[in-house]
Structures are given as structure tokens and as C-alpha cells.
Structure 1
Amino acid sequence: MELADRAVGLLLSVLSLSIFTYYTFWLIILPFVDSDNFVHKYFLPQEYAIFIPVFAGVGLISLLCLFIGYVMLKSKKKKA
């Protein structure tokens, strides 16, 4: 099982590093590149740089609140 854990850890590390690199290049370096350069076709418009993290954060907080509410209701039923 240790090998599977290492493989999953490596996969998650590579995935997070690639997302971080893409997002950093998108926000910091791309505004300084000419708009007619071919690199721009690989990136979304700049407006999505705010929308995607905001919607992901709202979704994560919503799921967290639903989970906490479910656990609280389940523990209340055990006491009664």
C-alpha cells in the first residue's frame, strides 16, 4: 500500500505544480506578452482568473457547510 500512496502523492504533487505554474504564467507573465502572440490561444481571458477561484471557493465552502450540517444532524439523532 505504501507504493500506491507514493504514486497518488506524486500525482497530486505534479497536478498541483502544473496548475500553479499555469495560473502564475497566466496572471503574471501573459499580460506582458503581445496580444497577437500565439501563446494567448492556450489561455482563457483574464476575467476568468478571478471567476474560477471565486466559484471554486464558494463551492468548497458550500460543500463544507453541507457536510458539517449533515454531521450535526446525524449526531443529534444518536443522542435522542
Structure 2
Amino acid sequence: MSRPPFRSTSRDPRSLAEAAFKSTKPEPPPLPAAKPALPSVREMVTLRIDQDVLAHFQEGGPGWQDRINDALRTLIAK
């Protein structure tokens, strides 16, 4: 009878790879970035509004986004 070739488990490439992966601990996922709690911080968003509403606010020239923001703020203050 012939015997299978003797391979040491410590030298087997698969065993070495498994041992290497088992010895490392996975890093915990990074914590999500906290949003600033400052009331004056603005956030960029995409907003779909009707063309006539946009034209109304843009008629006044630059600062139309601020005017939309002010109009929305008066609505939520009621």
C-alpha cells in the first residue's frame, strides 16, 4: 500500500491563509459624520417647483434662493 504524501498542516497554504485571516480582527465601521447643529448652516438640496413660481422669485434678480427660503420660513412659522 502506498501512503499519501505527508504534509504538515502548519505548512499547508490553505491552513496558513486561514490562520492569517482568523488572527486579524475586523475594524468596526466608522461612525457616521454628525450633522452640524447650528441653525445658520444651510444644506444643498434639489427642489422641483413650477416654472412660474421660479420665475416669480427670479424676477427680483440675485438672491432669489434667499427669497424662497424666507417665504418657506414664513409658512412654517404660522
Category of TM-score, reference length = shorter chain: under 0.3
Higher helix share: 1
Normalised to the residue count of structure 2, the TM-score between the two structures is 0.24
User: Using CA pairs below 8 Å that are at least 6 residues apart, which structure has the higher relative contact order?
Assistant: 1
Normalised to the residue count of structure 1, the TM-score between the two structures is 0.24
